[in-house]
């Protein structure tokens, strides 16, 4: 099973949301941590894609560009050069989002059924990257409030709002896939019921149920409580998105 898109979306979501957090407020260490997480995941995605014999195309070039820019940014931050690192990570973020959309268009070529439209797969992949990246970035940023004095809550609030946007976009893309399928998705449910259930509960249902708790704690600036809740959200989203990508790879249905 090719999980390259799954790992690429985690990496792209993390890099793509780095510009949301101002580097002068949190310091260079936050970006060193985020890029140190994202770049190995991007390399792992490349390994999976290469093992499946699918390394090539526009999306591979774009992911490579994002990885190169991200590596340059990481080296700048490690060398104490925050301003060049900030500019490079912003460029890497743009390349990451474009690469994810291109990867969705590529996936439409191997998917099956009326729901396997390039635009829908691109939106599906972008929503997945946003959901994965925002939840993971918000959870990790929450730890910075323990070590950086007087860190404003606005970056965490922004990532939380992006998490809500990711949930909404992921739900919309899923509903659209079922609506575009003349059979209403019955074939994919019959073939992969357990994984569809895991996706629905862990990637969408449970995070939506927990989102009000996250927002409530962020709104009252209880960053420690928000971080604890986000731990659970991240765990659910990681499992749910993995199940969704498994269904896509096994059945060709864009879950």
113: left (phi over 0), alpha (psi -120 to 50) or beta: left
Q: Are 104 and 116 in contact (CB under 8 A)?
A: no
pLDDT tens digits for 106-116?
888 777 677 67
Residue 184: which pLDDT band, with cuts at 50, 70 and 90?
Answer: confident
User: What average pLDDT does the segment 145-173 reach?
Assistant: 92
Residue 76: which pLDDT band, with cuts at 50, 70 and 90?
Answer: very high
Q: First vs last Cα of the chain: how many Å apart?
A: 16
Scan for tokens 């990570």, then name that residue.
Answer: 89
Q: What is the DSSP letter of 19?
A: G
Give the residue among 141, 117, 109, 121 at the shortest CA–CA distance from 37: 141
Fold of 4-251: Formate dehydrogenase/DMSO reductase fold (1.20.1630)
Helices (H), the chain: 4-16, 23-26, 28-51, 58-78, 82-110, 118-147, 154-180, 186-191, 193-198, 206-219, 223-251
In this predicted structure, what is the pLDDT of residue 249? Answer: 83
Retrieve residue 82's tokens.
Answer: 């925050």
- Poorest-confidence range of 42-46, 182-186, 251-255? 182-186
The answer to whether residue 189 scores a pLDDT higher than 90 is no
The answer to whether residue 1 scores a pLDDT higher than 70 is no
Residue 31: C-alpha distances to residues 140, 157, 167 (Å): 11, 18, 24
Domain ranges of the chain: 4-251
- On the 0-12 / 13-18 / 19+ scale of CB atoms within 10 A, 78 is middle
Residue 31: which pLDDT band, with cuts at 50, 70 and 90?
Answer: very high
pLDDT tens digits for 191-224?
889 999 999 999 999 999 999 999 999 999 889 8
In this predicted structure, what is the pLDDT of residue 25? Answer: 86
Q: Are 203 and 162 in contact (CB under 8 A)?
A: no
Retrieve residue 183's tokens.
Answer: 């059979």
In this predicted structure, what is the pLDDT of residue 154? Answer: 92
Report how far residue 96's alpha carbon sits from residue 187's, in angstroms, rounded to the nearest whole number: 33
Considering the chain, what is the average pLDDT of its residues?
90
The total of other beta-carbon atoms located within 10 Å of residue 90's CB is 15
């Amino acid at each position: 099973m090719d999980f390259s898109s799954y790992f690429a979306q985690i990496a792209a979501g993390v890099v793509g949301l780095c510009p949301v957090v101002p580097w002068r407020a949190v310091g260079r260490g936050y970006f060193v941590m985020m890029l140190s997480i994202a770049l190995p995941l991007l390399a792992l995605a490349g390994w999976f894609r290469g093992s499946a014999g699918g390394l090539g195309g526009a999306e591979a070039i774009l992911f490579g560009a994002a990885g190169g820019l991200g590596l340059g940014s990481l080296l700048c931050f490690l060398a104490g050069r925050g301003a060049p690192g900030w500019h490079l990570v912003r460029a890497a973020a743009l390349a990451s989002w474009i690469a994810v959309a291109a990867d969705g268009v590529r996936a439409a070529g191997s998917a099956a059924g009326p729901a396997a439209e390039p635009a829908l797969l691109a939106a599906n992949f972008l929503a997945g990257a946003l959901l994965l990246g925002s939840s993971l970035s918000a959870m990790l940023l929450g730890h910075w409030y323990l070590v950086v004095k007087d860190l404003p809550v606005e970056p965490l609030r922004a990532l939380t709002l992006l998490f809500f946007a990711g949930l909404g976009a992921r739900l919309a893309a899923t509903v659209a896939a079922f609506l575009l399928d003349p059979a209403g998705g019955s074939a994919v449910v019959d073939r992969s019921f357990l994984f569809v259930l895991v996706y629905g509960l862990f990637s969408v249902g449970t995070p939506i149920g927990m989102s009000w708790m996250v927002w409530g704690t962020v709104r009252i600036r209880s960053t420690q409580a928000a971080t604890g809740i986000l731990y659970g959200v991240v765990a659910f989203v990681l499992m749910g998105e993995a199940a969704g990508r498994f269904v896509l790879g096994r059945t060709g249905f864009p879950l």
